[in-house]
Amino acid sequence: MWGVDNNNVNIPVQPENKKPRLAAELTNDIKRISPPKYDGTTLGDGDNNWLIEMEKYFVIRNFSEETKAIWGAYQLSHEASSWWDN
């Protein structure tokens, strides 16, 4: 995208950085939806329930695979978070 300065010279215009807006939207979603956290101690159905709920949210938001990983990791706590970090 190009703009024009005071001397009528075309100069490149910096594209809008959408990352801060996405981060703000995700923060608002977390507050509004209150998605489940996963601590790594639940076995069986608890694991599946967490995955099902997270997948529902991912579908609604049409997240990329990268955003799913980032956002899903944010919802991990305790043992699950330690496992992910290692």
Question: In degrees rounded to 5, what are phi and psi of residue 78?
Answer: 50, -125
pLDDT value at residue 65:
92
Over its length of 86 residues, how does the chain's per-residue pLDDT go in tens digits? Answer: 455 556 666 666 555 555 667 667 777 776 777 777 888 887 666 678 888 888 988 888 888 898 888 888 888 889 888 988 88
> Is the distance from CB of 15 to CB of 1 less than 8 angstroms?
yes
CA–CA separation, 14 and 42 (whole Å): 47
Total-model pTM? 0.58
End-to-end CA distance of the chain: 42
